Amino acid sequence: MRDADGGGGLAGQLVVLARRLRKAGIAVGPGDTLLGLRAAAAVGVGDPGRLACALRCCWCHAHADLDLFDRVFATWWGRPPSAPPASGVPTDGGVRLHPAVGGEGGPRDDLPPRARREHRLEPSADPGLRAVDFGHCSPAELTELAGAVAALATCAPERPGRRRRRGPHGSRIDWPGSQRLALRSGGEWLRLVRARPSVRRRPLLVLCDTSGSMERYTRILLRFCHALQQGPGGVETFVFSTRLNRVTHQLRDRDPSRALAAVGGAAPGWAGGTRIGDALHELLIRWGPRVLSHGPVTLVISDGWETGSPERLAAALQRLRRSSWRLVWCNPLMGDPDFAPVTQGMRAALPHVDLLHPVHTLDSLEQLVGVVERARHRRPLAQASLSGSARSGRAGPEPVGPPPGR
Amino acid sequence: MAGGWPGATELGDPEAVRAALLAVDYVADLELATACFLALRLERPLLVEGEAGVGKTELAKALAQCLAAPLIRLQCYEGIDVSQALYEWNHPRQLLAIRQSEQGSAGPLDLYAPDYLIRRPLLLALDPPDGRRPVLLIDELDRADDEFEAFLLEILSDWQVTIPELGAVRAARPPLVVCTSNRTRELHDALKRRCLFHWIELPNLETELRIVQRRLPGVAAALAQAATAFVQELRGQDLYKTPGVAETLDWAAALVVLGSDGLDPATVDATLGSLLKYQEDLATVRATGVAELLARSRARR
């Protein structure tokens, strides 16, 4: 942030502001700077309010940028760059760093360095580990499993698109296409072109519990979330304990240990208590329109230990289910042969989920991926969907696939 | 002021734009007026985001009105494509022309002449048939697929499109483009970079009251005041969908139709459906008590 940019005058000072904004995390490119100069010339520079209005609509590209812009602008205007600038970035003026630049290196960077290279391990290094409960694994075994988890998970749920693609076995006739073809043969309809619906990606919404009760599973399951996020687009990931945090951005980092560390940094409630109902309500109210509007497959990964009110949880789930194409509750405790959904949270949740699925072993994760991918077809979900019995809360749910190991 | 706008002679600064918008009953704050002013002056598209019902679409209509320009509207939806947004060839007419020429009437036949072109909103905006420079509203852009967004880039930055059979069509004078988005998904950065961005906030009590009085001159002052205060109170509740300005206007209109001159719990309860569109929200409000909220909203004034 030195003022060595010569120039002086309006142009020079605006360039300084643009650079400060860039440092604070708003992407102001050279083209934007030019646009800003033209805007400033159009409204005049006498009045800071007016100038701020003009620059804001040129340089901010999202709602989240607005607040940040105002603060940087205020510092810039109050301390003109001709005066000796404060040493360094204007972060000291209480400026919040954009998530893109803040939050590097959380405290939980205790994955072994080896994890970096394991990304391309074959699906299972040791077949014996496939059916072992993650909770019973030693750290070394977990490390080994992490690579396999990363390799298996590229879920891409699908849905039929609105558009049609040409296809010889399509169910409908593509009239404009046929007409164009007829035109080529002098207006004679020699052949009809058929069309079938295109296939589009269905979004995937992952909500992962990181509270204290999940501790044995959190790391490996987050690794699973990371792998999902690395797959094709349209994946949104949130973690929750007492609060809800969006970690989609953090998990986009290709390096799993860095990504998980960033999640640790971004989710302050890590390993605390669980208020699933509150977290889901926050999701519905704050994020609802953005993450739920295209009918996602929703995975809630949690053991169901709820410290808040179960009614609130039930209400939130009911609503979440109506906005989701499928709602799958993934519970790592289902590995226990004596498991029954008797905790308050699970009891409240059961009537509102499409499927309860275990996530305690590599095998179960693999099945989960299969379930999500097949979710393209109409309800009921899998052969063991909860359509009848469990929705009404009478019987316990059956997980898909073989019984849980050990 | 930029030429080509019949109604824009006196829009020389943001305040003038604000006054012009007010004259057509659109209450804008200075920030929004500045954004509109710059969109006109710099010939950039304006991207407006905000909660549903804060007047994003209305803004485009109001701008068209105060510029005395025609409004061309492109409503986006999932799966929208070139043939619905830009142009399409008139296949039946082409076919007829072929048949006619087979009977050997006229000379050589050009099937891809402009006569056979069906112009859709984007092409109409770039090349208006009557030569009047339009306001182009691209509504709810977030509903369209991201491929469509990429397709818009050429139009929004260079004001031209290419029709393979005819060549490039370039706008002599670019239209004023207003894109709106409800943020059901994040628009792509490339598109945002080409636009001026403005976020419309929900208005505060005074502003909303002015909007109600402007848009619904038939509402008694006391009723408008009470209704607006109640909506403001409602926005403080824990709701899935907080009512926007559009809902306030609907509700006020409903109250006028019912002939009520003040607010009492029974009337509010009966008309709550104009404000809240989720059963859960209705339940929340009724649990808190309509009378209680009314009392609180009276204290607010």
Say whether both A374 and A258 belong to one domain.
yes
**pLDDT tens digits for A151-170?**
665 666 777 666 677 777 77
CATH of the domain at A116: 3.40.50.410
Tell me how long chain B is: 301
Which of the residues in chain A have pLDDT under 50? 1-7, 80-125, 382-406
Whether residue B227 is predicted with pLDDT greater than 90 in this model: the reply is: yes
Which among B31, B78, B99 is the nearest to A53, CB-wise?
Answer: B31
Which among A43, A54, A289 is the nearest to B184, CB-wise?
Answer: A289
Q: What is the total count of domains within chain A?
A: 3
pLDDT of residue B254: 94
Average pLDDT over residues B196-222: 93
A218: closest CA of chain B, how far (Å): 29
Say whether both A176 and A308 belong to one domain.
no
Record: contact B81-A290, CB cut-off 8 A: no
**Which residue segment(s) compose the domain that A10 sits in?**
1-102
Which among A58, A162, A182 is the nearest to B196, CB-wise?
Answer: A58
Q: What is the bridge-based pairing of β-strands B46-50 and B117-119?
A: unpaired
Say whether both A250 and A395 belong to one domain.
yes
B193 CB within 8 Å of a chain A CB: yes
pLDDT of residue B207: 93
Find which of A21, A26, A53 to mutate to test the B interface (most B CBs within 10 Å of its CB): A53
User: pLDDT-based confidence at B279, cuts 50/70/90?
Assistant: confident
A66 CB within 8 Å of a chain B CB: yes
B197 CB within 8 Å of a chain A CB: yes
Q: What six digits make up the tokens of B67?
A: 């510029």
Q: What six digits make up the tokens of B136?
A: 């182009």
Say whether both A6 and A135 belong to one domain.
no
Find which of B1, B40, B199 to mutate to test the A interface (most A CBs within 10 Å of its CB): B199
pLDDT of residue B35: 96
Give the separation between CA B176 and CA B69, rounded to whole angstroms. 10
Say whether both A212 and A236 belong to one domain.
yes
Q: Which residues in chain A touch residue B183, judged by CB atoms under 8 angstroms apart?
A: 63, 289-290
Q: What six digits make up the tokens of B85?
A: 């947004």
A191 CB within 8 Å of a chain B CB: no
Q: Which residues in chain B touch residue A62, judged by CB atoms under 8 angstroms apart?
A: 186, 192, 197
pLDDT of residue A390: 37
R_g of chain B computed on alpha carbons: 24
Mean pLDDT of chain B, nearest integer = 90
Record: contact A57-B196, CB cut-off 8 A: yes
Record: contact B189-A54, CB cut-off 8 A: no
Average pLDDT over residues B214-220: 92
Q: Which residues in chain A touch residue B79, judged by CB atoms under 8 angstroms apart?
A: 161-163
Say whether both A123 and A28 belong to one domain.
no
B273 CB within 8 Å of a chain A CB: no
Strands in A48-108 per DSSP E: none
**pLDDT tens digits for B26-49?**
999 999 999 999 999 999 999 999
**Contact residues, A window 278-307, toward B, CB-based 8 Å cutoff:** 281, 284-285, 288-290, 293-294
**What global pTM score does this model have?**
0.68
Which of A23-27, B246-250, B264-268 is least confident? A23-27
B196: closest CA of chain A, how far (Å): 5
Record: contact B42-A285, CB cut-off 8 A: no
Say whether both A219 and A71 belong to one domain.
no
Say whether both A222 and A249 belong to one domain.
yes
A30 CB within 8 Å of a chain B CB: no
B12 CB within 8 Å of a chain A CB: no
Q: Which residues in chain B touch residue A179, judged by CB atoms under 8 angstroms apart?
A: 91-92, 95
Say whether both A26 and A140 belong to one domain.
no
pLDDT of residue B23: 94
Record: contact B111-A319, CB cut-off 8 A: no
Say whether both A383 and A255 belong to one domain.
yes
pLDDT of residue A128: 63
Record: contact A58-B34, CB cut-off 8 A: no
Assess: ipTM above 0.95: no
Paired strand residues for A199: A160
Domain boundary among A56, A82, A102: A102
Q: Which residues in chain A touch residue B78, judged by CB atoms under 8 angstroms apart?
A: 161-162
Say whether both A215 and A169 belong to one domain.
no
Nearest residue in B to A197, CA atom: B79
Give the separation between CA B8 and CA B111, rounded to whole angstroms. 40
Chain-centre distance of CA A241, in angstroms? 16
pLDDT of residue A154: 63
A324: closest CA of chain B, how far (Å): 14
Which among B98, B182, B239 is the nearest to A186, CB-wise?
Answer: B98
**pLDDT tens digits for A111-157?**
333 333 333 334 444 556 666 777 777 777 777 777 777 766 566 67
User: pLDDT-based confidence at B209, cuts 50/70/90?
Assistant: very high
pLDDT of residue A93: 33
Which of A104-118, A234-248, B177-191, B227-241 is least confident? A104-118
Three-state secondary structure call for residue A199:
strand
Nearest residue in B to A162, CA atom: B79
Spell out the SS3 assignment of chain B: CCCCCCCCCCCCCHHHHHHHHHHCCCCCCHHHHHHHHHHHHHCCCEEEEECCCCCHHHHHHHHHHHHCCCEEEEECCCCCCHHHHCEEECHHHHHHHHHHHHCCCCCCCCCCCHHHEEECHHHHHHCCCCCCCCEEEEECHHHCCHHHHHHHHHHHHHCEEEECCCEEEECCCCCEEEEEECCCCCCCHHHHHHCEEEEECCCCHHHHHHHHHHHCCCCCHHHHHHHHHHHHHHHCCCCCCCCCHHHHHHHHHHHHHCCCCCCCHHHHHHHHHHCCCCHHHHHHHHHHCHHHHHHHHHHHC
Three-state secondary structure call for residue A322:
helix
Say whether both A111 and A92 belong to one domain.
no
**pLDDT tens digits for A334-393?**
877 777 777 888 888 888 888 888 888 888 888 888 887 776 555 555 433 333 333 333
Q: Which residues in chain B touch residue A56, judged by CB atoms under 8 angstroms apart?
A: 31, 197
**pLDDT tens digits for B70-111?**
999 999 988 788 888 999 888 888 888 888 887 776 667 788
Find which of A22, A37, A53, A57 to mutate to test the B interface (most B CBs within 10 Å of its CB): A57
The dihedral through the CA atoms of A54, A60, A64, A68 has a sign that is negative
